[in-house]
Copies of this chain bind each other. A is one copy, B any other.
Amino acid sequence: MIERQHASQMDRDDPLASWRDEFVIPDPELIYLDGNSLGRTPKRAVTALHRVIDEWSGDLISSWWEHDWLNLALTVGDELAPLLGAGPGEVAVHESTTVGIFQQVNAALDLAGDRSGPKVVAIADGDFPTDRYVVEGIARLRDVTVRHGLDDLGGVDVVLRSLVDYRTAELVDLAGETQRACAAGAITVWDLSHAAGVLELDLPGTGVDLAVGCTYKFLNGGPGAPAFVYVSKRIQDRITQPIWGWFAQDDQFAMERPFEPRPGVGRMLNGTPPVLGLTAAREGIRLSAEAGIGLIAEKARSLTGFGLDLADQFGFETVTPSDPTRRGGHVAIRRDDARRLHAELTARKVIIDRRDPDILRFGMSPLTTRYVDVFDAFSTLTDILTGSAS
Contacts and interface: CB of A to CB of B under 8 A. Distances in A.
Nearest to A63: B223
Contacts of A245: 96-99, 130, 133-134
Contacts of A278: 224
Contact of A274 (B225, B249, B253): B225
A222 B133 contact: no
A142 B247 CA distance: 22
Contacts of A130: 244-246, 271
Contact of A243 (B98, B223, B255, B355): B98
A347 interface: no
Given A38-B60, A351-B60, A137 B243 contact: yes
Contacts of A275: 222-224
Interface string A268-282: 001111111110100
Nearest to A257: B129
A224 B64 CA distance: 10
A38 B52 CA distance: 14
A175 interface: no
A53 interface: yes
Nearest to A226: B274
A120 interface: no
Given A276-B223, A276-B280, A277-B277, A98 B133 contact: no
Contacts of A52: 223
Nearest to A69: B223
A353 interface: yes
B136 A259 contact: yes
Interface string A9-53: 000000000000001111100101010011011000110010011
Contacts of A346: 62
A181 B346 CA distance: 56
A255 B355 contact: yes
Contacts of A224: 69, 272-278
Nearest to A36: B61
A56 interface: yes
A226 B223 CA distance: 14
A271 B62 contact: no
A102 interface: yes
A249 B141 contact: no
27 contacts: A23-B57, A24-B57, A41-B53, A62-B351, A69-B224, A95-B95, A95-B99, A95-B271, A96-B245, A96-B272, A98-B245, A98-B270, A129-B249, A129-B255, A130-B246, A132-B258, A133-B246, A133-B249, A134-B243, A134-B245, A141-B142, A214-B272, A224-B273, A224-B274, A227-B271, A276-B277, A277-B277
Given A26-B58, A41-B53, 13 more contacts: A32-B60, A38-B60, A38-B61, A40-B60, A41-B57, A46-B57, A98-B243, A98-B245, A102-B242, A137-B242, A137-B259, A216-B272, A225-B276
Interface of A: 23-27, 30, 32, 34, 37-38, 40-41, 45-46, 49, 52-54, 56-58, 60-64, 69, 94-99, 102, 106, 128-130, 132-134, 136-138, 140-142, 214, 216, 222-227, 240, 242-249, 253-255, 258-259, 270-278, 280, 346, 351, 353, 355-356
Closest 10 CB pairs of A and B: A96-B271, A98-B245, A98-B271, A137-B244, A41-B57, A223-B275, A133-B244, A24-B57, A98-B270, A133-B259
